[in-house]
Amino acid sequence: MERLVKGYGKLLLFGEHSAVYAYPAIGVPLPYGITLKGRVHRNSQNRRINGENAFLDNLTQSISSITKNLNEPGYTIDVKSDLPVSRGFGSSAALCTALTKFFFPGLELSQCWDMAHKLEARFHGRPSGIDTGLSLAHDLSWFHFSPNKELPELYSSNRKLGIWIVPGSVPRQVSTKEIVLNIQQKIKEKHKKTIGLIETLGRITDQTIQMTKGIIDFSAWSKLTIQAHDSLKELELYNDELTEVFKIARTLGNPPGKLSGAGKGGAFYFVFPEKDKAMDFYRQLIAICEKKYHWTLFSPLAI
């Protein structure tokens, strides 16, 4: 029987870096991701993958890891992706959740998450579980961490907030691992400014999570977005291209926005109270991007 599954990308809204220190995180799944279509069969000599070169090496290695308890079955898989790689949208997590769904159909959410999380460790060593959790979620979700559990607790809002976002990304110049280790080293050295900024980012995330449980005040949400943006800038997580994005945004109405993910490039987003305003900004920014920059820009999404 033919199988068709998709692992979705993610956008972290709040919780960058502070989540490493047991503060919560909040984000949304994206409608973009990695689709696997094909069959699993008994002939282990018949293994074929067709698709995008960016994923082929990782796919082969990951399949060997995830199928080691399935007597190494044969498979035919067609791979399609509309998610940029290494841009802060969780492409490795999307791949891991897609593979888990493909080879182990019918798993409960908790089982699928656990398996995808373990598989993602092949890419990132010690992933937080946020990316795979959002890849499997259906709505805006937040995560609370416990020192005694490998995966955080996941909570979904099951409703829209009435906020529109325009996500995008620029090339990343430094690996996530290197960025995280740099901040960890400063924390270890008791660097007061870094510790204070991480605490600020954690408090901001707490406040946004509380806001999702009631009627959203867009003005208050915007202020928290700007505060997080400023704190992340002080942590020196904006590279030249991210800085250029926000410089251009100031000429297009200066909407609230921030980076998303580890930083030094990668994902970013801007927030709007209405779809029309989001669409107008998107059209203006993408016209500039297409002429001069190699940026990715997604059309407005409701969260």
Is 101's pLDDT higher than 70?
Answer: yes
- Do 126 and 216 share a domain, yes or no? no
The closest of 70, 68, 154 to 118, measured between CA atoms, is 68
- Do 101 and 173 share a domain, yes or no? no
Task: List 166's β-bridge partners, or say none.
Answer: 270
Q: What confidence score (pLDDT) does residue 169 get?
A: 96
Under DSSP, the state recorded for 267 is: E
Q: Token pair of 270, please?
A: 């801007």
Residues near 223 by beta carbon (within 8 Å), at least 6 away in sequence: 256
Q: SS3 sequence, 182-237?
A: HHHHHHHCCCHHHHHHHHHHHHHHHHHHHHCCCCCCHHHHHHHHHHHHHHHHHCCC
Q: What confidence score (pLDDT) does residue 86 get?
A: 82
Task: Specify the number of domains making up the chain.
Answer: 2
Q: Of the residues 131, 156, 181, which one is the last residue of a structural domain?
A: 156
H or E, element range at 18: none
**pTM value?**
0.93
Question: What's the CATH code of the domain at 214?
Answer: 3.30.70.890
- Do 169 and 271 share a domain, yes or no? yes
The closest of 13, 33, 37 to 25, measured between CA atoms, is 13
- Do 148 and 179 share a domain, yes or no? no
Q: Is the distance from CB of 269 to CB of 165 less than 8 angstroms?
A: yes
Structure confidence by residue, pLDDT tens digits, 162-218:
999 999 999 988 888 899 899 999 999 999 999 999 999 999 999 999 999 888 999
The closest of 192, 114, 133, 160 to 275, measured between CA atoms, is 160
Is 43's pLDDT higher than 80?
Answer: no
Split at pLDDT 50, 70, 90, the class of 57 is low
Exposure on the CB side of residue 30, measured as CA atoms within 13 A: 31
Question: What's the CATH code of the domain at 88?
Answer: 3.30.230.10
